[in-house]
């Protein structure tokens, strides 16, 4: 069974300041994962980094064997993501 998501040494944050660092994660088809932590502990930052919504400060993310850094459109085609309505670009609203 191959990895569908592989995260190695991921560091990410905002304005050059790491919020999460040194994250290693491997998910295989059928895995179920929950992120638990207090408000402000970096859960959303981690998801945003893995999905390519924010740039990595270090490390790598691979989705179905495709590196997010070198082929972001191909890598992102390998997953679905539900974004909070207030974060959607205005052009993508239902209006």
List of domains in the chain: 3-76 (3.40.50.300)
Average pLDDT, the chain: 91
Percentage with pLDDT > 70 across the chain:
96
pTM of the predicted protein model: 0.84
Neighbour-count burial for 16-32, b at 16+ CB within 10 Å, e otherwise: eeebbeebeeeeeeeee
Q: Which tokens sit at 63?
A: 């989705």
- Binned at pLDDT 50, 70 and 90, residue 91 comes out as confident
Residue 40 CB partners (closer than 8 Å, separation 6+): none
pLDDT above 80 for 94: no
Residue 21 CB partners (closer than 8 Å, separation 6+): 10, 11, 57, 58
Q: Which tokens sit at 22?
A: 């040194």
Per-residue pLDDT at 4: 94
């Amino acid at each position: 069974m191959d990895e569908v998501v592989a995260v190695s040494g991921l560091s990410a944050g905002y304005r050059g300041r790491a919020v999460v660092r040194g994250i290693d994660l491997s998910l295989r088809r059928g895995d179920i994962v929950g992120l638990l932590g207090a408000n402000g502990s970096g859960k959303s930052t981690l998801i945003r980094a893995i999905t390519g919504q924010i740039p990595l400060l270090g490390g790598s993310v691979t989705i179905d064997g495709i590196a997010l850094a070198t082929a972001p459109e191909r890598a992102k085609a390998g997953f679905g993501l539900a974004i909070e309505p207030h974060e959607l670009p205005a052009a993508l609203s239902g209006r």
